Every structure is written in structure tokens, then in C-alpha cells.
Chain A
Amino acid sequence: MNGLLLTTQQALQLLLYGDAELWSIVLLSFSVSLKAILLTTPFGLLLAFGLHHGNFPGIRFILAFFNSLLSVPTVVVGLFLYVLLTRQGPFGDLKLLFTQSAMVIGQMILCFPVLVALGYAAIQAADRRVWETSRTLGAPTWYTILTIFYEVRFGLLAAVLTGFGRVISEVGISMMVGGNIMGYTRNITTAIALETSKGEFAQGIALGLVLLSLSFLLTAFLSYIQSKKGVIT
């Protein structure tokens, strides 16, 4: 018990005294995951819109496919990407393996189904009159889509935050296609795994605290915007 308290105390010191190594890992994590979520969001939400407003066969199958991908293990995505990016793989010439770009691509694959499935659910909740009213008032299609997105912005924001939560906390992809290289591809989750395997718990706990704080912040923010939605509508 004393050991755990001591380690936690050391972890807090690392965080509060601005340990350079620790904070560079945190920054890298956020940088990679923010890029992944920002690059994926427009495509994910547009596909969600297309699936909702489209009228073509196989929509139910596509939706079921994305829903099933929500729980895909991150190591499976990592393995799939590794096979593609390895030197003998079809994209080996791009030399992306063990780079931040590979981590971003992997995380994009991971959060895309989240954005499509949750984005679809949010758009589905939109009143059909939004589309009709916007169109009859002369809005072009792109503006009508933006109007619908604005009307269901709280649901879409929840989808984006859930997607971000999924990618910032994944370990399988980062480990397999990032390679956990210090100062280059080591992020919070791979660093925790490494430090724990070395028996160095202080940095692991400090990084865990950052992830936990982020999780609490995201949940609190989601609760806040949902309560705000209650006031507005």
C-alpha cells in the first residue's frame, strides 16, 4: 500500500514539475489523435449523411458493417495496417511503418466507424422538416446539409468526442505500426505499457492520470452540452 502511495506521489511530481519526457509523450499523443479525428470527421459525417438520405440498395448492410466495426480490437486494425505497410506489403514503398503518419492512418481507420455509426444516429434524430424547410427556402444542397448538421450539432459533437476518446486510448495500433520509438512514435498508451513492463510505475501512473483526466473531462463536457441542449430546445 505504501509502495502504491509513494509511486502515485512520484507520478504527481512528474506531472506537476513538468517532466520534459513525460509531457513530450502527452503532446505527441494529442497531436496524432487530433490529426486522426480532424481528418476523419468530415468524411465520416458526410458518409453518415449519405447513408441516411441516400436511396440505394445495401444501406442496411453498410450500416450493420460499420456498427460491427465499432468493437473491432485495435490490434486487429494494427495487424491489418502492418501487413499493408511492411516492406514486403503492397504499400511498403511508402516507408510509413513506424512513423506518426502510420499511427494517424491507423487511428483514422479506428474512429471512422464510430463517426459513421454515431453520426448516422444523430442525423437520424433530425426532424425531416429541417431538410424540407431549408430546400424550400432556396438553400443549395450543401447549405442544407450544414443546416442539418447544425440542428443536430450536440449529437455530432458527442460522436466526435467518442471517436477521439477511442483513438487517444488505443494501444494496439500505436504499438504495432508506431513501434513505440522514444521521442518519435511513443504515445501515452505505449509508454504506459513499456514503463509497466520495466517495473517503472511512476511514469506509467502519471500518464494514466492524464488519460483518466481526459476521460473525465470529455464525459463532463458531454454532460454539459447535453444539459445545454435541454435548455435550448
Chain B
Amino acid sequence: MSGPLFVFHGIEKTFAEDEILRKVDLSLYPAKCILLTGKNGSGKTTLLKIIAGLEKPEKAEIEISGKLHCWKKVMPIIRKEIIYLHQQAFLFSGTVESNVAYGLRFTSLTREQRRESLKKALERSGLTDLAKQQANTLSGGVQQRVAFTRAWILKPKVLLLDEPVSNMDQESREKACLLIQRMKSAGMSIVITSHVPQYFDGLADVQFDLVNGKLLQ
């Protein structure tokens, strides 16, 4: 097995004197999927947001290629490699196409390359026919698929999925799991939080339970 992409050490987070995360350690490997379970309010979402750089921890260090870095210093650099997806996908006003292409403008790709990349991503996710449709008129399942595609097109090293299939019917859930499997096969490190671990049987390589601010395997 190749070495970890990022190793998070000693993540600590407190809300109103309540310790949500207590020295949590987590290693993220390429093409591996971690399933995080835990009760409501146990801190799963907070942990994902800290890993994505969207929330500040009290303390945390990140190990990259065997070297330890302070979370605050290295996060602006590695946040480009990590994408967080909300439990309920948020799509911007506009079409499916404009949503999927949103992050491409911040890459070094040329306009032609961006167009090509967008076309391929829409085809891969079966969204070509919906490309010109207003994103907020779609069903929850399709919106989540658009959000997956919008993340996938940027080829992040790590994808953090917060309850990705919680509001889906069985058909949408199966489609979403297939998409996640393909993203994992493409080499992405994936972290999923879920109340129902059974949905991800065969997809998750390791499962952790977040209890009292600690990760238990």
C-alpha cells in the first residue's frame, strides 16, 4: 500500500466549553474509503469541515510526506486538494453546466481544456441531457449527483462526503454509491459519514465510530 496523502494529528475542537473532538488522529490514503459513524452531534461534520479547512480547530497538525506542519500554515495550500460535500447538496443559481464548471475557473486549464473537461464530466455522470436545466429545479438525488460531478471534475486527492445518501431513494442511492466507487477507483481518498453503515458495504475499507470526541475502530 502506498503511503498516506495526509495524516491529521491531535485534532481538538471545543464548542462552548464542550469538547467535541479530543486529539483525533486520521490518516487518508489514496484509493481508500473511510466510513465515519456516530450519533447526531458527535462531531462528524465538524471533523470533516476541519479536514477541509472550512472550520478552525483549537489544535491540529498535518503530516505530509513524513513532515509535520501546523494546520493553520499548511491548510491554505492543501485545501485545494480536499473537497467537502454537504449532506444536502448546495447548488448555485444557474444551470447544471455552470455548477459543474464552477471550480474549473480556478484551475490552470485553458478555456478549451475546461470545455472538454466539462463535457466529459457531464457524460460520465449521465448529466449531459440536463446540462442546460436550472440546477435548483432538479430532484434531491440528481442535485447530489451534480454536486459529486462538480467535485470530481476538479480531481481532488480527498473527497469528504457528509451523509451523502441520507435523503435518497434506493435507485438514487445505488447510482450515488456507484459514482463514489468510481471516484475511489480513480485514486481519490474518500471519507464518508453515515448513520446507516450498511449502505456502504463493500465500499468502505475501514470504519470508525466517533464516540465522546474520540475515533474508535
Contact = CB atoms under 8 A, between A and B. Distances in A.
Interface centre among B52, B106, B154 (most CB of A within 10 A): B106
Contacts of A143: 106
Interface majority SS on A: helix, strand, loop or mixed? helix
A138 B134 contact: no
Contacts of A127: 90
B54 A138 contact: no
Nearest to A130: B90
B90 A233 contact: no
A150 interface: yes
Nearest to B147: A133
Interface residues of A, number: 18
Interface string A197-219: 00000000000000000000000
Contact of A137 (B53, B83, B134): B83
Given A132-B84, A132-B86, A137 B93 contact: no
Interface in B75-134: 79-80, 82-84, 86, 88, 90, 92-93, 102-103, 106-107, 134
A88 interface: no
A136 B107 CA distance: 13
Contacts of A140: 106
Contacts of B88: 129
A16 interface: no
B14 interface: no
A139 interface: yes
B106 A138 contact: yes
A228 B83 CA distance: 33
Contact of A129 (B80, B83, B90, B102): B90
A135 B84 CA distance: 10
A130 B92 contact: yes
Contacts of A151: 92-93
Contacts of B80: 138
B146 to A, nearest CB: 12
A133 B79 contact: no
A159 B90 CA distance: 25
Interface residues on B, range: 20 to 34
A150 B133 CA distance: 19
Contacts of B92: 130, 133-134, 147, 150-151
A137 B86 contact: no
A233 to B, nearest CB: 6
B52 A136 contact: yes
Interface in A105-156: 127, 129-130, 132-140, 143, 147, 150-151
A232 B93 contact: yes
Interface string B40-82: 0000000001001110000000000000000000000001101
A127 B93 CA distance: 12
Contacts of B151: 137
B148 to A, nearest CB: 13
Contact of A136 (B54, B93, B134, B136): B54
Interface of A: 127, 129-130, 132-140, 143, 147, 150-151, 232-233
29 contacts: A129-B86, A129-B90, A130-B90, A130-B92, A132-B49, A133-B86, A133-B92, A134-B92, A134-B102, A135-B53, A135-B79, A136-B52, A136-B54, A136-B79, A136-B82, A136-B84, A137-B83, A137-B103, A137-B106, A137-B151, A137-B154, A138-B79, A138-B107, A138-B154, A139-B106, A143-B106, A150-B92, A232-B136, A233-B93
Interface of B: 49, 52-54, 79-80, 82-84, 86, 88, 90, 92-93, 102-103, 106-107, 134, 136, 150-151, 154
Which 9 A/B pairs are nearest by Cβ-Cβ distance?
A137-B103, A129-B90, A138-B106, A136-B84, A133-B90, A138-B103, A132-B54, A136-B83, A129-B86
